[in-house]
Chain A
């Protein structure tokens, strides 16, 4: 840690941690971690979702703490591991970012702002411009079925405050497979204030989306999400 960063850490009015779920991202994870550490003094925790490459070693080398899952739990299972870690360690802010370089650390301060100032419990880095045609269709179906009005439902670039962390660390959130509809509806049911923050996202460096890469997974994902959205509609009444 540089002197500048040490100074930043002392001056920070909150205790935050960056959580990065990663599956076979050995090509990108190092650069992603370094970029975050260049922009902020926050500790970075990479949750290695049972990768078969050296994702864990590269992340550690770049300066991140690494939690290795012995079995693959999926993107949300890995993210929840990070949130449980954040809760257990008493962090009051958790930032989640993808390991593929899609989320730029330069937007961190902007994204954290509404949560740090208490204006929101959750901030979502939204980039509605990034969607392919299929993704846009998916978004509109998801919004319609669930009644959610959040811009970028699938974005993994988020900031959670302590109460959101504790809600999402619970057993109830464990059964979810993805971090979008289910997680957002659960948060809304608890009265969380969620805001969108428009950020630019460059294309992914390496591998594509974990969901939008084959027709079979897209079909499963869409059916899963639509059923979940419909069954938990009007979240205030659902829980």
Chain B
């Protein structure tokens, strides 16, 4: 009974992912990983024998341990990958903020210079790498 439930969870996850991609709520490259997770669930539910024999080959007496270990390992890798991506995004945001602030100060300096007489020619714009 439990294994059938697991299988249906897998199918439900797969369905939710398809809906999310369809509605543009989830990037396709993230969806790929989640589809694999759903497939894993379905496999565990509908073909528990696969896990049992794999556990037997690896010498694990209690097959669910194998499933849980694999799940924890995958989750750890996934979360680490998310933090790596978050770090990259932080760098991007920070550099954009810096660039924006520099350009804004330049813009207001130009305004100040042009306000009183309007004579002073604008300086060469600052070029900043992102």
Contacts and interface: CB of A to CB of B under 8 A. Distances in A.
Q: Do A and B bind each other?
A: yes
Interface of A: 47, 65-71, 73, 77, 80-81, 84-85, 88-89, 169, 171, 174-175
Query: What secondary structure prevails in chain B residues at the interface with A?
Result: helix
B115 to A, nearest CB: 15
B54 interface: no
A68 B102 contact: no
Query: What secondary structure prevails in chain A residues at the interface with B?
Result: mixed
B126 A88 contact: yes
Given A73-B97, A174-B91, A81 B102 contact: yes
Given A73-B98, A77-B97, 13 more contacts: A67-B101, A69-B98, A81-B102, A84-B99, A84-B102, A85-B126, A89-B126, A171-B91, A171-B95, A174-B91, A174-B94, A174-B95, A175-B90
A175 B105 CA distance: 23
Given A73-B94, A88-B126, A88-B128, A175 B87 contact: yes
B74 interface: no
A171 B94 CA distance: 10
Nearest to A174: B91
B109 interface: yes
A89 B124 CA distance: 10
Nearest to B125: A88
Nearest to B130: A171
A175 B94 CA distance: 9
Nearest to A175: B91
Contacts, number: 49
Contacts of B97: 69-71, 73, 77
A65 B127 contact: no
11 contacts: A47-B101, A66-B105, A67-B101, A67-B104, A69-B98, A70-B101, A81-B102, A84-B98, A84-B128, A85-B126, A88-B102
Contacts of B102: 67, 81, 84-85, 88
A155 to B, nearest CB: 23
A67 B94 contact: no
Contacts of B105: 65-68, 85
A66 B126 CA distance: 15
B50 interface: no
Contact of B104 (A47, A68, A89): A68
B101 A68 contact: yes
Contacts of A65: 105, 109
